[in-house]
A and B are shown apart, each in its own frame.
Chain A
Amino acid sequence: MTTNEELITQVLQGLPVQIKRPGRVFVTIPREDLIKTMNILSSELNVRHLSTITARDTNKDFELLYHFFLNGVVITIRTICPKNDPTIESIVPIFPSANLYEREIHDILGIVPQGHPDLRRLVLPDDWVGGYPLRKDWKQPTEKEAEE
């Protein structure tokens, strides 16, 4: 009997799939292949459930994790986006539920999802000028700086 994890591995043939433990599958792809991979997930695996998108500053670059859920398996698509060009293709046309999550990573890390229909702020105030707080080099402004 093939498990759900093995089925997913078969469909994602050729991609570096890593089964961390039962129910947790990680796939690392280059940034250019994002849309292609998302299309495979959507049309061939029929994935609909996008749990969220995690973005993190690794000091060197940005790491993006797209977490999907299918038949008891959390599929995480991992991709890297360089700091000097913090852009990524928007996946909203394929997964509409990515809308708010892409707005969030844009807001707190300054990663620009290109082609996103509505890139207003999500969690920070509209008049925020303090930079991108989730970047590792971000420092909380002192009280004096905050007043200015």
Chain B
Amino acid sequence: MNHVKLPIGPQHPALKEPENFAITLDGERVVDVDIRIGYIHRGIEKLMESRTYIQNLYLVERICGICSYAHVWNFTQNVEEILGLQIPKRAEFIRTLFLELERLHSHFLWLGVAGHEIGFDTLFMYTWEDREVVQDLLEMISGNRVNYAMNTIGGVRRDVGEEHRKKVLQGMDYLEKRAQYYKEVAINEKTILARAENVGILKPKDALRLTAVGPTARASGIKVDIRKNDPYSVYPETPFEMITTDTNDVLGRVVVRVLEIFESIKIIRYLMEHLPEGEIKIKVPRKIPEGEAITHCEAPRGEDFHYLRSNGTERPERYKVRTPTLANLLSVSEMLKGTYLADVPIVVAAIDPCMGCMDRVLLIKEGTDKPGELVDGEQLRRYGIKWYAERGWNA
């Protein structure tokens, strides 16, 4: 058999988790995938053991540049559980607002990336412009666009004023209109259909077996959404639906995310209309008693899992983080098997990992150690678009 091994990745400066996919090809078909991660393992879990809880707030936030808030939310929740603390209701509402604003900007960002990967750059330009609306709201309330530094142990650091509340609601009206448009595009636009339908199949039994999480699992019809399965914060009283599809393909993952934008808008409206009065934080001791706590929440990409073991001092004994991308890695290799090389960029992008993985590709002919042709991610993307154009799939 004349198989070709194709390593994709690992390095790109803009990535949070660079990965290396060693893809074995039979002609155009992917037959096997091997994943290697850890290229920017920063030792955060170890580092946390030598820092105080307050210092760790800001360290945890830097685990990820997109879903930074999900991590810091989990961390504060863990510490508060060990302290046996009930934070003020208003703080809970503001925290949930941030969780949902984060999901909004992440889903808009992803939609743009998906568009870019299939050569639909107009969609990329549109969604990223709309994402700025969310970013502006985040900056208006917290002062920051990425690492918001909103949470502290015992509450939040900044309040949402009346002015902010109005602006958030206005922003939601605008985004809802835009999302309506994206919904039509995602379901009817033939460019997307041609590239996403029946591509990157993940069967429900595989999604379960490999514990896929988030939109990736929900697009395979698995009813897993921590907001519904293990409701936390103000989600139990907030009206929203869990979105699932049963198409098991990339298109399903597009549809799930687009429809989730509507649910997030619904949640944010509820939060802003029912924001209770009161304090936003309470005072807490610096030393955390001995104990352990587990918190998981639904980050934009899926279940984000944190475990804290404290030892009665100002520093944690052990802190463990499991990010959703790690949980979805096994599923990606399952999805890639049997697809065309031209579909690799969109299938990998569909779990919403780090898009820049595609940026350095080296072709090596099997059996020799000599590198073949050097291809970068941009060339692979263009190759995918051209490959489909030659077969008459162009829009």
Chain A residues engaging chain B, CB cutoff 8 angstroms = 21, 23-24, 48-52, 54, 56-57, 65, 67, 69, 71-74, 76, 95-97, 99-101, 120-125, 133-134, 138
Contact = CB atoms under 8 A, between A and B. Distances in A.
A48 B303 CA distance: 14
10 contacts: A24-B294, A51-B303, A52-B305, A52-B307, A54-B318, A56-B320, A96-B209, A97-B327, A123-B37, A123-B41
B290 to A, nearest CB: 12
B202 to A, nearest CB: 13
Contacts of B209: 48, 96-97
B121 interface: no
Contacts of A74: 230, 294, 296
Given A67-B305, A133-B46, A51 B322 contact: yes
Contact of B38 (A24, A51, A96, A125): A125
Given A69-B296, A122-B37, 10 more contacts: A49-B208, A51-B211, A52-B307, A54-B320, A56-B317, A69-B230, A95-B211, A97-B330, A122-B38, A123-B38
B224 interface: yes
B230 A51 contact: no
B317 A72 contact: no
Interface of B is mostly: mixed
Contacts of B307: 52, 54, 65, 67
Interface in B37-92: 37-38, 41, 43, 45-46, 81
B149 interface: no
B326 A100 contact: yes
A52 B328 CA distance: 12
A134 B309 contact: no
A125 B37 CA distance: 9
Interface string B295-309: 010000001010101
B211 A48 contact: yes
Q: Which of B41, B45, B303 is most buried by chain A, counting CB atoms within 10 A of its CB?
A: B41
B385 interface: no
A134 B43 CA distance: 9
Nearest to A23: B230
B229 A69 contact: yes
Contacts of A124: 38, 41
Contacts of B330: 96-97, 99-100
Contacts of A23: 230
B210 A97 contact: yes
Interface residues of B, number: 30
A123 B45 CA distance: 12
B329 interface: yes
**What are the 6 tightest A-B residue pairs by CB atom distance, in nearest-first order?**
A52-B322, A97-B211, A123-B38, A123-B41, A54-B320, A56-B318
Nearest to B307: A54
Contacts of A134: 45-46
Contacts of B327: 51-52, 97
B309 A56 contact: yes
Nearest to A74: B294
A8 B170 CA distance: 46
Contacts of B43: 133
A100 B322 CA distance: 11
A65 B318 CA distance: 12
Contacts of B320: 52, 54, 56
A121 B46 CA distance: 17
Contacts of B38: 121-125
Interface string B317-354: 11010100011011000000000000000000000000
Contacts of B45: 134
Contacts of A54: 307, 318, 320
B294 A72 contact: no
A32 to B, nearest CB: 24
A34 to B, nearest CB: 19
